[in-house]
Amino acid sequence: MKITRLILFLTLTVFIASTAAASTPIVTVDELRPGMHGVAKTVIRGADIETFDVEILGVTGSQAEGHSILVKASGDLIERSGGIAQGMSGSPVYINGRLAGAVAYGKAFSDPNYCFLTPIEEMLKMLEDTDAQPSPFLQKSSPLMASGFTGEGMKYLVEKLAPLELKPFAVPAGQREMEDVGLEPGSSVGVELVRGDIRLGAIGTVTMVDEEGRVLAFGHPFLQRGSTDYFMTNAWIFASIPNVESSYKVGALGRTVGTVTEDRAAGIAGIIGKQPKIIPVFISATDTDRGVNKSAEVQLVPLLLDVVCLNTYSATTDRTGGGTARVSFRIAARGDKSGEIVVQRENMFFNAANLGKAINGELVYAGDILMNNKFEKVTIFDVNVNIEAGSACEV
């Protein structure tokens, strides 16, 4: 009976994988042998897809815990990129024209020509119906590109994301609006969490695009949030920078081309043409000492609302230290059961050492109650924040 069930499970898995792949023939881990050679696709400059050589060294793991494919990369592209670089995650690897998997993991301070692939069978499972509940944060060393952040804002962002083991790094502001660059296997793809006056996101590589416009990429989790609603963009690569620890791509996020709908252990999945649900946020900050006012308009995921507020405050006051702030905010939302929800709040905050960190407490608490309550699903539609801050004990 158990053998019959196992055979049925394996048959269904093969059927689902072959159906999802459709026009993309795949090769399973059972068919791979050491010494097999193939090619991989990626971008290390601009939007031009190039190839490099790959040799299969072996398959590790098991059916129960999952498999990984160890490979060695070589060729002119690998020499120019400094080995397998951060940002190549998701690069499709083909053996005799059949898709085997995606570049996913390497090891710091080791030979950069070696890496592990996530088998395509594991990635295809993301196209099935999945549990909508978010998964725990497990991914390590996912580099994030941040632009438009002040020094104080960047410091706060690093602290905010440290428990998630994410490492943001500052890049020049700006983006490339590339109307003629689509997504295909080997092309660069961006996952964006914040866009507007400041931007925050990561760049990887497309593994597969099916005839329905569904995309598989990265080969490893981004935030491993389960079902998601991130911006999916095209991307432009300036260069791949060799580095002793790990080479990495430097690039710019482009225009939104779809939505990332799944963020799982095997990678990310999305669909081209689908518009993500966005939360528009407008933040106004006034430095009462100097009479300076600045504002920021962004679209983001709720996780980073406080980061945007602190960054706007920091850009306006252009200082660190204590003081007093008057903060008011209005959050417009809708609950599945209760309908329209409006949360408004105004309060004053004082901190003798670091006023910036004191201004976000109630805003974060209100957002958390709305998004993570146990009674109904709540969708936030609009957030407006006003901050008036000064170095005196009273504003």
**Residues paired with residue 42 on neighbouring β-strands, in sequence order:** 50
Q: Quote the pTM value.
A: 0.80
Distance CA 176, CA 45 (A): 13
Share of the chain above pLDDT 70, in %: 86
Between CA 154 and CA 161, with CA 159 as vertex, the angle to 5 degrees is: 95
Cα separation, 210 vs 26, in Å, equals 13
Q: What is the mean pLDDT of residues 78-101?
A: 94
Which own/partner contact pairs does 360-367 have at CB distance under 8 Å and 24+ positions apart? 360/306, 360/309, 360/310, 362/327, 362/329, 363/305, 363/306, 363/309, 363/327, 363/329, 364/305, 364/306, 366/329, 366/331, 367/302, 367/305, 367/331
Q: Where are the beta strands (DSSP E) in the chain?
A: 37-42, 50-62, 66-74, 92-95, 98-105, 114-119, 142-147, 166-170, 188-196, 199-209, 214-217, 226-241, 248-264, 267-272, 279-287, 292-300, 323-335, 339-351, 378-390
Query: Are the C-beta atoms of 98 and 27 separated by less than 8 Å?
Result: yes
Structure confidence at residue 340 (pLDDT): 92
Q: What is the DSSP string of 108-134?
A: TTS-TTEEEEEEHHHHHGGGS----SP
Tens of pLDDT, residue by residue over 137-187, are 333 345 678 888 999 999 988 888 887 767 787 876 655 567 778 999 999
**Mean local confidence (pLDDT), 322-346:** 92
Bridge partners (DSSP) listed for residue 227: 262
Whether residue 108 contacts residue 247, with contact meaning beta carbons closer than 8 Å, is answered with no
pLDDT at residue number 129: 55
CA 89 from chain center: how many Å? 12
Give the tens place of pLDDT for each residue, 273-320.
998 877 889 999 999 999 999 999 998 876 788 889 999 999 999 988
Cα–Cα dist 71/317, whole Å:
51
CA-closest candidate to residue 102, choices 89, 115, 86: 89
Q: Which amino acid is at 64?
A: A
Provide the pLDDT for residue 174: 54
Q: Give the pair of three-digit tokens for residue 1.
A: 């009976």
Looking at 94-222, list the stretches that DSSP marks H as alpha helix, in order from N- to C-terminal side.
120-124, 151-161
